[in-house]
Amino acid sequence: MISKALEDAINEQIKNEFYSAYMYLSMSAFFEQRTLKGFAHWLRVQFEEEQGHALKFYGYLHDRNGTVKLQAIPQPPVEWKSNIDAFNQVLEHEQKVTAMINKLYELAVKENDYATQVLLQWFITEQVEEEKNATEIIANLQLIEERGTAALMLDHQLGKRGKD
C-alpha cells in the first residue's frame, strides 16, 4: 500500500505529465501552422511520450492499491515568438519536470518506499534524455541562426524521428 502523501504527490504528477503532453501538442499545432512539419512531428511524438509517462504513474498507483484522482489540466500557451523560443520553453519545462521528479524521489526516500524509488529511477533517467534532446535542438537552432542556414534542414532531420 502506498502512503497518502505519495499517492497525492503522484496524482499531482499525473496532472503535470498530462499538462506536458498538452503543451507539446499545442506546440505541434503551432509548428503545423508555420508549415514546419518535422518540428510538428517531433513535438507530436513528444506529446505521445508524455501521455505514456502519465499512464505509467496511473498504472503504478493502481498496482499499489492507491486511488487515482484526475485533476484539471491548465491551458497551455498557443504561440511562441520563434522556433528557438519554443524549444527554449521545452528545455525550461523539462527542467521543471526534472525538479518535480526529484522532489517525488525525495518524498519516496522519506517515506521509505523502495518500490516508488525504483519507479522514479526510470523517470530520473528519462529526464536526463529529455533535457539532452532539447539542449541539442537549441544548439542546432543557434547554429542555424549564426550561420544563416535554413531551419528547413533541421526540420527535415526532426521529421525523421521514429521513422527509422
10 Å CB burial of residue 10 (0-12, 13-18, 19+) is: buried
Please report, rounded to a whole number, the percentage of residues in the chain having pLDDT higher than 70: 96
3-state secondary structure of 67: coil
Fold of 4-159: Ferritin (1.20.1260)
The pTM (predicted TM-score) of the whole model is: 0.89
Distance CA 97, CA 154 (A): 26
Neighbours of 149 (CB within 10 A): 12
| Residue 148 clears pLDDT 70, i.e. is over it | no
Distance CA 104, CA 117 (A): 9
CA angle, residues 25, 73, 4, in degrees to nearest 5: 130
Express each pLDDT in 75-134 by its tens digit. Answer: 999 999 999 999 999 999 999 999 999 999 999 999 999 999 999 999 999 999 999 999
Q: For 20, phi and psi rounded to 5 degrees? A: -55, -45
Set of cell numbers at residue 69: 484522482
Rounded to a whole number of angstroms, the distance between the first and last alpha carbons of the chain is 42
